[in-house]
Chains A and B, each alone.
Chain A
Amino acid sequence: MGEIWSNIKIFAPSLLEGTVITIELTIISLILSLAIGLIVALGKITSNKVINKVCNVYISIIRGTPLLVQLLYVYFVFPDFGISLTAFQAAIVALSINESAYLAETFRAGIKSIPKGQMEAAQAIGMDYSQAMRRIVLPQAIRNMIPAIGNSAIVLIKNSSLAAVITVSELMHNGNLLAASTYQNIQIFTMVAIVYWILHYPLSMLVDYLEKRGVNHHVTSNQH
């Protein structure tokens, strides 16, 4: 037991460093993917057929190929096109793009769930499309979407572990290195798993809470 405890103390600093990188990867990628996802979603619902097509192709390519392939592509193939990124930057790009395709669908469904009359009423008092979208439709849509966005964030935390493959020194990568040099596989990978679980837990509780609140909100907003 004493040996386990002293091992944990030895492994902890490196795993903690990795955890910080994992959190950074997740938060930055989530913010970027929300922005890209919103733009793609608006592109999908606009009346411009060319933009619709482009957005559909984007979503199809990103959702139709594995994240691992995307990571390797950004890190190893982009340099051939003159875009050289550090491992961390490449991971951010790949994770953001990957997540944005899923979030775009979430946004689109969220926007579609708001009755058409809300947009028309906003236009009838003199708002233009973008003003009505920003002030009236999106705030309501996002409220409905928060549970789905929370789920995306949880998936993103775990997906970020794939960045280990392109040598980003995040939690999984550091755990891997420790295990390779010490052969303490059980202890190290158990610790890694526990840390991921701990990271996801508050988010998961938040999603549960918002879902319950969201249900109440939905019932009331359905009355008209």
Chain B
Amino acid sequence: MLQVTNINKSFHGKQVIKGIDLSVQKGEVLVIIGPSGSGKSTFLRMMNALEFPTEGDVLLEGESILYKNVNNKKQPRKEKELSKFRAEIGMVFQGFHLFAHKTVLENIIEGPMQVRKIKKEQAIQQAEQLLEKVGLSDKGNQYPHSLSGGQQQRIAIARALAMKPKMLLFDEPTSALDPELVGEVLAVMKELANEGMTMAVVTHEMGFAREVGDRIVFIDHGVIVQDAPVHQFFQTNQKNDRINRFLSTISRNVV
């Protein structure tokens, strides 16, 4: 589905991502973990070209989303072409980022109407189905600021789904939530995973990773330290010290 090849990213000469190769299979739930500042969010943001890598490429179903061949020369794609690919790869942010001046329903139909050029009635009908899916059918006419964080994040997931994306990226979707609201968002994500949605999730929720994830990638200092199926990753005889330390810090915080 999505393939990342030898990707590098530097900000002002400082290298944040140092040559990562990774591929996500169709229907797979990939969980990306790592200490804060390890570059995992930057890495995720390059998967839909919100950040442009300094080196390397990202392929969606075999086609580069970043470059095109013009007269056998590799050229960076223009803004409009990048947008076309972003529409195929949904993204859910840590801070929700619902459009503050639009109602919940307007948030969800915005992409389908403006980008996919779908008729309004059809977009609304689809949006209502999505609202029902995330359990917020009664909130369509409210504005985002009147909703709890958990509700806002579920709306943000519905907004991403409305584009019928080929895969979804989650950038710490529950990190900004009060603890009692985390569960409702994870439940929606779990349902999506069960339906076969391809997902890449940056998270600290080890319970979710263990239960829903297929594969775990541990990133630290901009490189992949380990890339393993979930059951293997959580085996107690972890050889890697850094991962052990990270896991024990996390579980201490979780209680």
Majority secondary structure, A binding face: helix
Q: In the complex, A140 Cα to B101 Cα: how many Å?
A: 6
Residue numbers in A under 8 Å from B111 (CB-CB): 125-127
Residue numbers in B under 8 Å from A122 (CB-CB): 99
Q: Is A180 an interface residue (CB 8 A)?
A: no
Q: Which residue of A lies closest to B83 (CB)?
A: A128
Per the CB 8 Å criterion, the residue count for chain A at the interface is 23
Contact B86 A126 (CB under 8 A): yes
Q: Assess A123 versus B86: contact at CB under 8 Å? Given A117-B95, A135-B114.
A: yes
Q: Is B33 an interface residue (CB 8 A)?
A: no
Q: Is A124 an interface residue (CB 8 A)?
A: yes
Contact B96 A224 (CB under 8 A): yes
Contact B115 A115 (CB under 8 A): no
Q: Is B254 an interface residue (CB 8 A)?
A: no
Q: Which residue of A lies closest to B115 (CB)?
A: A126
Contact B95 A224 (CB under 8 A): yes
Contact A139 B101 (CB under 8 A): yes
Residue numbers in A under 8 Å from B152 (CB-CB): 224
Q: Which residue of B lies closest to A120 (CB)?
A: B50
Contact B160 A125 (CB under 8 A): yes
Which of these, B48, B83, B95, contacts A127 with CB under 8 Å? B83
Q: Assess A121 versus B99: contact at CB under 8 Å? Given A127-B83, A129-B79.
A: yes
Contact with A along B126-150 (1 / 0, CB 8 A): 0000000000000000011100000
CB distance from A61 to the nearest CB of B (A): 31
Q: In the complex, A120 Cα to B49 Cα: how many Å?
A: 11
Q: Is B70 an interface residue (CB 8 A)?
A: no
Residues from 166 to 224 in A contacting B, C-beta threshold 8 Å: 220-221, 223-224
Q: Is B220 an interface residue (CB 8 A)?
A: no
Q: In the complex, A117 Cα to B83 Cα: how many Å?
A: 16
Q: In the complex, A136 Cα to B106 Cα: how many Å?
A: 11
Q: Is B100 an interface residue (CB 8 A)?
A: yes
Residues from 134 to 180 in A contacting B, C-beta threshold 8 Å: 135-136, 139-140, 143
CB distance from B71 to the nearest CB of A (A): 25
CB distance from A130 to the nearest CB of B (A): 8
Contact A117 B50 (CB under 8 A): no
Which of these, A117, A126, A128, A140, contacts B93 with CB under 8 Å? A117
CB distance from A47 to the nearest CB of B (A): 11
Q: In the complex, A120 Cα to B45 Cα: how many Å?
A: 10
Residue numbers in B under 8 Å from A140 (CB-CB): 100-101
Q: Is A86 an interface residue (CB 8 A)?
A: no
Contact B115 A125 (CB under 8 A): yes
Contact B145 A124 (CB under 8 A): no
Q: Is A131 an interface residue (CB 8 A)?
A: yes
Q: Is B245 an interface residue (CB 8 A)?
A: no
Q: Is B163 an interface residue (CB 8 A)?
A: yes
Which of these, B93, B114, B143, contacts A121 with CB under 8 Å? B93
Residues from 79 to 109 in B contacting A, C-beta threshold 8 Å: 79-80, 82-84, 86-88, 90-91, 93, 95-101
Residue numbers in A under 8 Å from B116 (CB-CB): 126
Contact A123 B83 (CB under 8 A): yes
Please list the residues of chain B having a beta carbon within 8 angstroms of any beta carbon in chain A.
48, 50, 79-80, 82-84, 86-88, 90-91, 93, 95-101, 110-111, 114-116, 143-145, 152, 156, 159-160, 162-163
Nearest 4 CB-CB pairings of A with B: A126-B87, A125-B111, A117-B97, A121-B97
CB<8 Å pairs between A and B, sample of 13: A118-B100, A120-B97, A121-B99, A121-B156, A122-B99, A126-B87, A126-B163, A128-B80, A128-B83, A129-B79, A140-B100, A220-B145, A224-B152
